[in-house]
Amino acid sequence: MIINQLLVFVLILFCGVNSIKAFDVIKPFPPTAEEAIAMVKTFPCMSEVIKPFKKELDWKAEWVEDRWYIIGLFESPWGVKFIRDATIGYRQIYVWGCFRYLRGYVSGDRTLRGYAPYSAYLMLPPRKWVISMAQEWGLKTLYTRLTPEIAIKLIEENPKFINALKNKQVLDTVAELIVDNVESQKWWFAFYVIQEDGSKTLLVVEAIEGINRWDKKYGFKRIYLHWEIPLYMADWVRKVAKERDWLEANNIP
């Protein structure tokens, strides 16, 4: 700290007051939150990552040190409020999955040009900031578009699940959102099942939100079914089985 102060003093002494411009705080680009939000809203990649949505509800933007953090609030087709966020900084606009160069950063031409199919993860808004903005909107979840009830319904419509449950009856079901961040929204499911011979067992399912392959609609892009409980799901399964009184299941770990 002392060395920095001495350096500034020496520069002023030998080069004049204008030399301290090198130490000025970076000015916002674009200058206002409204312009930053407008820039993100016109970014094609943002339009892609928020699909499907029913309503655009609100936006917030904050200049932090050398970049804009921007966050949008939307309503999914299932009535769930969810967010997507972006950053404008260092001549680029960043959304999870892609970034875009800002043409004319110095000249003032704020139009956008071609973007690349990835983004620097560290440039995205910090999770702490995202959560604080989401709390101002009263959200209990962040990026997911689904409720547990809708998530269960989508799993039950999946062909892999339908085939796995042939000649079996589901007695009870639990769904829990395990991961809810910008990279992934992951759900775990437990189905309490009675088999043809009358025995009871559990089918557990892992599923990741996205466009599914069988009808190209939003739901779960990947699902994994397990009759044998994976070790990493064992504690969760034991907890659910105890809470729901599924202790007759023959495959509780």
Rounded to whole angstroms, how far apart are CA atoms 213 and 53? 19
Q: Domain spans of the chain? A: 23-136, 148-244
Output the six-digit token pair for 174. Answer: 């639990």
| CA 90 centroid distance within chain | 23
What pLDDT does residue 92 have? 84
Q: Is residue 3 over pLDDT 80?
A: no
| pLDDT at position 110 over 80 | no
Sheet with 169-180: strands ordered across = 169-180, 185-194, 200-211, 218-226
pLDDT at residue number 19: 40
Burial group, residue 251, by CB count within 10 angstroms (0-12, 13-18, 19+): middle
pTM of the model: 0.82
| Alpha helices (runs of H) in the chain, residue ranges in sequence order | 2-15, 33-41, 44-49, 127-136, 148-156, 159-164, 234-244
Q: What is the DSSP letter of 120?
A: -
Instruction: Dig out the tokens for 151 from the structure.
Output: 């998530």
What local confidence, expressed as pLDDT, does residue 119 receive?
A: 52
Residues 165-175: tens digit of each pLDDT:
999 999 999 99
Q: Does domain 148-244 have CATH number 3.10.450?
A: yes
Strand residues in the chain grouped as ranges (E): 55-64, 67-75, 81-89, 92-95, 98-102, 112-116, 169-180, 185-194, 200-211, 218-226
**247: which residues sit within 8 A by CB, 6+ positions away?**
241
Provide the mean pLDDT of the chain.
85
Query: For the residues 189-216, what does the mean pLDDT come to?
Result: 95
What 3-state DSSP class applies to 211?
strand
- Tens digits of residue pLDDT in 39-90: 999 988 898 889 999 999 999 999 999 999 999 999 999 999 999 999 998 8
Which candidate, 190, 187, 147, places its Cα nearest to that of 172? 190
Residue 109 pLDDT > 50, yes or no?
no
Confidence band, pLDDT 50/70/90 cuts, at residue 221: very high
Query: CB neighbours of 54 closer than 8 A, spacing ≥ 6?
Result: 74, 75, 76, 77, 79
Cα torsion 3, 4, 9, 10: sign: positive
DSSP secondary structure letter of residue 157 = T
